[in-house]
Structure 1
Amino acid sequence: MRVVSWNLWWRFGPWRERQKAILEVLREQRPDLVGLQEVWAAGGENLAEWLAAELGLHWTWAPSPAPERWRRRIADPSVDIGNAVLSRWPIEETEILRLPVPPDLDDGRLGLYARTGPVSFFTAHLTSAPNACEVRRQQAAALAEFADREGPVVLTGDFNAGPGFPELLELRRCFRDAWEEAAPSTPGETWDWDPRLPYRQGPRQTERIDFVHLAGPVTARHAHRAGDRPVEGVWPSDHAAVVADLVC
């Protein structure tokens, strides 16, 4: 079972060109399950729906309940943002967790659950505020409780914190890091990993902040990055994707 976790950088930058590049990366990877963050929807279009149709997958998505801060960044009040799951199997059940956050930082971060195929599958997007370590700790703790299910559990997402960061302690108590399990000696940075990346802002802060986490009877056999180079001259996202091959 191949799993991908990827932050798609919403509608920033050359988003139409990036949309095609994202599709090509996913088509090449041939995933069974995909956890996506920063997925846009506008004017009757939904990026997750389009990707699912092109790839022959099932899909579900959870829109942010507080997208106003995002919309102001692109000066477009019509665009929604959320998390999505794409799946080789029908999606039998879904549930949404609004992650805890103080009002001054609230931009509608979520955890999305989908029961599909052989696993309980989750994707989440923790706050990115630079000095919000305690907020991320609370969000990670809430997510660990939300994802406490029987059987194989796969938790994907952009956690905006590296593997050794203290805010992810609650998750590390409950989950294993698929990258550490399958590719511990391989460079796995997913944020600001390449000096050629045109979407960088400010000084470089290279880090692995995107994860595939595992709990229960599921094992990672292989892990690698994807979307970490241009596709016909277009960089797909400001994040690289994490790809993990799992066995239940």
Structure 2
Amino acid sequence: MRVLSWNLWWRFGDWQRRRHAIRTVLAETAPDLCGLQEVWADPDENLAGWLAAELGMHWAWGPTANAQQWQARTGDDSAQFGTALLSRWPLAAVAVEELPAAPGRTVLAATVEAPYARIPFFTAHLAATAYASAARLEQVDRIRELVAARPSDSHPPVVTGDFNAEPDSDEMRALGGDKTAPRTAPGLILMDAWRFADPGDEGLTWNRRNPHVAAAPEPSMRIDYVRVGLRYDLEAGRVESVRLAGTEPVAGVWPSDHFAVVAELREPPT
């Protein structure tokens, strides 16, 4: 099973051309599950719905109730901002929640009705800026609670997102629960899929090689993730490999300011 996480950079830059570049990358990558952040919708269209129709996938949308800060940056008060899930299989029990400590950040959850398992699937977009670690800690605490509240006997949870935090940060250590004592949901381990990558690949998803990032003041970083619950009793969901996608322009257009993370997870034998 192929899982992708990608921040789509909302309606910034040449977003009308970028949407087609995003579609091309997704079509070539052919994920089974997508967790998407910075997804737009307007009165006429939803980017997630359009992508789902183009790719033949199911979809769910989780708008924030606090889109004003994003609208102010583009001068368009008609566009909504949120997270989205795309799935090869139907989605059930869809729920969106505003995350604490910073307005405009959401977590979207659903249960994927795959033929071999019911998969708890999440995507989230955490507070940005280098000084927002305390806010992100509160946010990952809540995400862990939500993941623990949606157990499955047949598949570990899959958590995707732009967490705006590097792997050694307090908030990512707290989210994982394997490198420090978790503040919520003890016993839940959410492994970083990138730990199964080539050790020489830093997996920089916010990369100054991308001209949209080169204009920003931050260095290159790994801030986007696929996280998978650790289950010793299941073959399904074990990480086989991981890589980046969307790392080059498409027909001269960079799809986003972030690169996507793509993880291959084991399916049970048939």
Residue number in structure 1 paired with 2:49: 49
Q: What is the rounded CA distance, in whole Å, between the counterparts of 1:183 and 1:114 in structure 2? A: 31
Q: Over the residues paired in the alignment, what is the CA RMSD in angstroms?
A: 1.4
CA distance in 1, matches of 2:241, 2:61: 27
The AA in structure 1 aligned to 2:163 is F
Deviations, residues 34-64 of structure 1 (Å, cap 9, x unaligned): 0000000012200000000000000001001
Q: Report the counterpart of residue 159 of structure 1 in structure 2.
A: 163
The offset of 1:199, in angstroms, is 4.8
| Alignment equivalent of 1:229, drawn from 234, 240, 248 | 248
Q: Does 1:191 align with 2:215?
A: no
Q: 2:172 aligns with which of 168, 177, 191?
A: 168
Equivalent position amino acid for 2:220 in 1: T
Query: Conserved in 1, the CA contact under 8 Å of 2:22 and 2:255?
Result: yes
CA-CA distance at 1:170 after TM superposition: 1.8
CA distance in 1, matches of 2:196, 2:122: 19
Aligned to 1:10: 10
Structure 1 equivalent of residue 214 of structure 2: 200
Q: Provide closer, same or farther for how the CA distance between residues 191 and 58 of structure 1 changes in structure 2, counting only shifts above 3 A.
A: same
Structure-2 residue corresponding to 1:137:
137
Structure 1 residue aligned with 2:225: 211
Offset at residue 181 of structure 1 (A): 2.5
Residues 49-68 of structure 1 aligned to structure 2 (within 5 Å): 49-68=49-68
1:235, CA displacement in angstroms? 0.2
CA contact (8 A) 2:137 2:174 kept: yes
Give 2:100's aligned residue: 100
Q: How many pairs are equivalent?
A: 243
Return the offset for 1:66: 0.5
What is the TM-score when the length of structure 2 is the normalising length?
0.86
- 8 Å contact kept, 1:3–1:245: yes
Percentage identity across paired residues of the two chains: 46
CA contact (8 A) 2:208 2:214 kept: no
Query: 1:144–1:170: 8 Å Cα contact kept in structure 2?
Result: no
Instruction: Give the structure 1 partner of residue 265 of structure 2.
Output: 246
CA contact (8 A) 2:197 2:243 kept: no
Cα distance in 1 for partners of 2:218, 2:67 equals 27
Shift of the 170–200 alpha-carbon distance from structure 1 to 2, 3 Å rule, reads same
Using the alignment, how far apart are the partners of 1:246 and 1:96 within structure 2?
25
The separation in 2 between residues aligned to 1:57 and 1:184, in whole angstroms, is 33
Q: Is 1:109 matched up with 2:105?
A: yes
Structure 1 SS opposite 2:123: strand
Residue 76 in 1 paired to residue 76 in 2?
A: yes
Residue 172 of structure 1 and its aligned partner are, at CA, apart by 1.5
- Distance in 1, Cα, partners of 2:16 & 2:252: 13
Task: Report the AA paired with residue 42 of structure 1.
Answer: D
